[in-house]
Amino acid sequence: MGFMDDTGRFGPSGVESLFMDAGRKRKLPQVGDRFANFVAETTHGRLSLENYADGHWVYLFSFPSTFAPVCSTEIVSLAAQIKAFNDLGVRLMGVTCSDVNRALDWIEDLEEVFNVRVPFPVVCDPQGELVRELGMINPSESARTAMRKSIILDPSRKVQLMMDYPAYLGRCADEVLRCLEGLQDIDYTGMALPADWMPGDYMVAPGPMSDADMCSSFGDNWHKVRDYLVVARG
């Protein structure tokens, strides 16, 4: 397991090279931060996040353990939706506190039981070094296993979304896909998305926009409900 900054430098145990504020104090990643690169052993061999992402959107998710019921259903659910992730140009990477051999045995078993291929790598961090640095452990819940944290990175590795789930609540692959498609729409259009948005629904202007700007961007596919609420369909 190793950690590095964007210059490729490693600190003692790699720890100092991860997230630091301007005063060189350790901080956990937040929305808007550029996510640090790391190199780790995975079920697909030794990988760096930077090379694996390769300019794509990334869904990085941690989970407590292998051969566990909720974790197993999450992996299978994500694997079953891999075409939808591929269509959005998204690469998936799991992270857990397991050794590689155990993780490989588990994935092989899931593929046999559920007749599904798991095509994405799982980072194996048996000592918990990486998950601690990435804020994927909550000591009040468990000091030895990763929590269910979801992180979406854009092609520049900027954190666009973070979500935490409790140990006994599995994530929904459809919701992950909704968030990814929404974030990509925001990135492409400069618009914002309202509550309960689903792909294909109306977007909202994030602030004041002139009628000319709206017509230039959306033609006739927009409507001013109020000066503070302008909706459009991309």
Enumerate the active-site residues: 71
Which DSSP string corresponds to 135-171?
T---TTT-SSS--EEEEEE-TT-BEEEEEEE-TT---
CB contact at 8 A, 124 and 43: yes
Burial (CB count <10 Å: 0-12, 13-18, 19+), residue 14: buried
Q: Is the dihedral of CA 39, 41, 42, 43 positive or negative?
A: positive
Q: What angle do CA 161, 165, 171 make, to 5 degrees?
A: 85
